[in-house]
Structure 1
Amino acid sequence: MKQKRINLIVLTGLVVVLLGLIICYLTVDSGGNWDYILPLRSKKLLAFCIVGITTTVATISFQTITGNQILTPSILGLDSLYILFQTMVLFVYGNSHLLLADRKVNFLVSVALMVIASGFLYLFIFKNHHTNLYLLLMLGMIAGTFFKSISTFMQVLMDPNEFDKIQGKLFASFNNIDVSILALTILVGSIALFFLIRKNAVLDVLHLGREQAINLGVVVEKELLQILVLISILTAVSTALVGPITFLGFIVANLTYRIFKTYQHFWLFIGGSLLGIVVLLIGQLLVERVFHLTTTVSVVIEFIGGCYFIFLLLKERKQG
């Protein structure tokens, strides 16, 4: 009960901070141009919410089923697969092809490819080598490197104008969000979130380990497949909307574990989602007010996330 009260207090504090950041982001330096400022910033704010929630929930769930708090869904090579798909379509068909011209079709195909790829990894890694996390890490990195190498090769051969177009998809950006896919993103993401959050009790049990979960009556193979597909959909939704952000989920998930000292995923999901939006808003405010838009929020998050990742590795090594 004491820990529950502490979690409620922390959640309340996060809500207050988030509301303050939202008000600050929507109103600072508006110059009274509300007809222009509010629609523009509200669109970005909605994207922050979508990316913060989907990335955080996907990462926490993935770390639970792998039993490792350093791994993220990007280790499966989904981000690299997304970039490869965008590059290949542009390289083979050009700008005018339906897969690039129609953002809704592009979004749906991108999500489908990432889900299929994750299903393939499940069948050939999780199912047969579920205890070998190093194999998962190795094959994920190999697949990601392979996809990036092919993408880079095609980008070198591209026309400069086409290369300039694909550059916008290599880094996450909240500045040019396509409003036409926001509704589709919310729909697909909400459905995946609904089913994944419903499995919070199953994830609580899986947190204890595979053998314990089996002893407690969980059909592990079935649950892992369903959870991995939902994680892939959430990762794909975030990536297809703004582009790849490798370290966002890693930062937010590990901060969530340290703030909410609990194994219950109900608290981790809610607290982590709020924290994810807070991190994105702080990053965007830094980009706009400190760096004066000379960089992007993804670059700031990747830099901080990389430093934090190295810190945790050194800490684990020292403890080992």
Structure 2
Amino acid sequence: MEYILKDKKSKKVIILLLLLDIMLIAAFLLPGLTPKNFHFFMPRRITKILAVIIVSYGIGYSSLIFQTVTNNHILTPSVMGLDSLYLFIQTFIIFVAGSQTLSQMIGYKHFIICVGLMIFAACILFLLLFRGSSKNVYFLILTGMIMGSLFNGMATFMQVLLDPNEFAVLQGRMFASFNNINSNLVGISILIIILVCIISVKDLPYLDVLLLGPENAISLGVDYKKLILKTLIICAVLVSVSTALVGPITFLGILIVNLARHMLGTYSHRSLSFGTTFLGILFLTGGLLVTERIFKFETTMSVIINFIGGIYFLYLMLKERKR
């Protein structure tokens, strides 16, 4: 009976979030449109909203399943060092070939290089992890954090040696931006997201069982090792696509996943995946409205999201400490 009540509550919250998303999207798309400027502004605004949906699902769902795998509500896929690798790739390109080369790589080439290298690095890490029987998920986290620190250190070293003008170009890639998105890349990203959805939807019941712990999941017939490896690869793909499309947003995942858990009051990954996606759309669309209509592009949206997410992260840390 209690589960049924919680399920009804989660459905109501999801519907409410969806309605709020529709209202915010309409508030972003429609104001200021006239018959003369419609064909100029509307395609650009739609591209931004599509990117918001892609990033919301990519970061939200990857953070949700990563926390399930690690059995920790504070960790996110960023501990695997993929954000640091993205920053290192941008810095390395400018350091070796100059900012002009990076500026020219705005299409498929740059996207494929970033996504390919991030997925390749993650897969190498996972294969090394699962080759030995004594290694576990916590070994992955430790290795990912070390690799992330390594990439950050190398990127910082090269940034110090850069010309100030080239560093200014690099700085534009260090923060998430929805203003210069290639519409062709949005199409590829949507195809990748749909493919990941189809592959991962079968695993949602198994992820629910995984919340009982590895031993209980194995005793109930879950192929633990295969599920963990598959889930981590999906995490790597989603984070890589989202980061390569708009740039890194560090605290978005931890913010929307934990808020979704609190608001929905359920452990069902099916419900939580909808909740995290809709919350992500709510925060990102709201962030676009604030940065464009209120701050007039004087600040970036990632600064606002990371500020709110950072405060919430500190709240979670203090909350866990009191337990």
Match of 1:23 in 2: 26
C-alpha distance in structure 1 between counterparts of 2:142 and 2:86, whole Å: 19
Is the 8 Å Cα contact of residues 90 and 102 (structure 2) preserved in structure 1?
A: no
Structure 1 residues not aligned, in runs of 5+: none
Spell out, residue by residue over 1:16-50, the C-alpha distance to the aligned partner (whole angstroms, 9 max, x if none): 11111111111234466322221221111111111
C-alpha distance in structure 1 between counterparts of 2:266 and 2:51, whole Å: 28
Identity %: 42
Asked if 1:129 is matched to 2:123, the reply is: no
Asked if 1:228 is matched to 2:232, the reply is: yes
C-alpha distance in structure 2 between counterparts of 1:67 and 1:114, whole Å: 24
**1:1-320, aligned counterparts within 5 Å?**
1-30=4-33, 33-95=37-99, 101=105, 103-125=107-129, 128-130=134-136, 133=138, 135-319=139-323
* Farther-moved stretch of structure 1 (34-43 vs 228-237): 34-43
- RMSD of aligned C-alpha atoms? 2.0
* Farther-moved stretch of structure 1 (253-262 vs 176-185): 176-185
How far the C-alpha of 1:247 sits from its partner, in A, is 0.5
Q: Calculate the TM-score normalised by the size of structure 2.
A: 0.92
Aligned CA distance change for structure 1 residues 3 and 317 (closer, same or farther; 3 Å): same
How far the C-alpha of 1:181 sits from its partner, in A, is 1.2
Is the 8 Å Cα contact of residues 52 and 273 (structure 1) preserved in structure 2?
A: yes
Is the 8 Å Cα contact of residues 54 and 193 (structure 1) preserved in structure 2?
A: no
Is the 8 Å Cα contact of residues 89 and 99 (structure 1) preserved in structure 2?
A: no
Is the 8 Å Cα contact of residues 201 and 265 (structure 1) preserved in structure 2?
A: yes
C-alpha distance in structure 2 between counterparts of 1:68 and 1:31, whole Å: 49
Q: Supply the AA of the counterpart residue of 1:16.
A: L
C-alpha distance in structure 2 between counterparts of 1:312 and 1:95, whole Å: 39
Q: Supply the AA of the counterpart residue of 1:4.
A: D
Is the 8 Å Cα contact of residues 90 and 100 (structure 1) preserved in structure 2?
A: no
C-alpha distance in structure 2 between counterparts of 1:136 and 1:303, whole Å: 28
How far the C-alpha of 1:281 sits from its partner, in A, is 1.0
C-alpha distance in structure 2 between counterparts of 1:204 and 1:275, whole Å: 21
How far the C-alpha of 1:214 sits from its partner, in A, is 0.7
How far the C-alpha of 1:98 sits from its partner, in A, is 9.0
How far the C-alpha of 1:70 sits from its partner, in A, is 0.4
How far the C-alpha of 1:314 sits from its partner, in A, is 0.6
C-alpha distance in structure 1 between counterparts of 2:264 and 2:228, whole Å: 25
Structure 2 residues not aligned, in runs of 5+: none
C-alpha distance in structure 2 between counterparts of 1:172 and 1:4, whole Å: 35
C-alpha distance in structure 2 between counterparts of 1:188 and 1:109, whole Å: 15
Is the 8 Å Cα contact of residues 86 and 166 (structure 1) preserved in structure 2?
A: yes
**3-state SS in 1 of match to 2:265:** coil
Q: Supply the AA of the counterpart residue of 1:315.
A: K
Q: Supply the AA of the counterpart residue of 1:310.
A: L
Is the 8 Å Cα contact of residues 63 and 72 (structure 1) preserved in structure 2?
A: yes
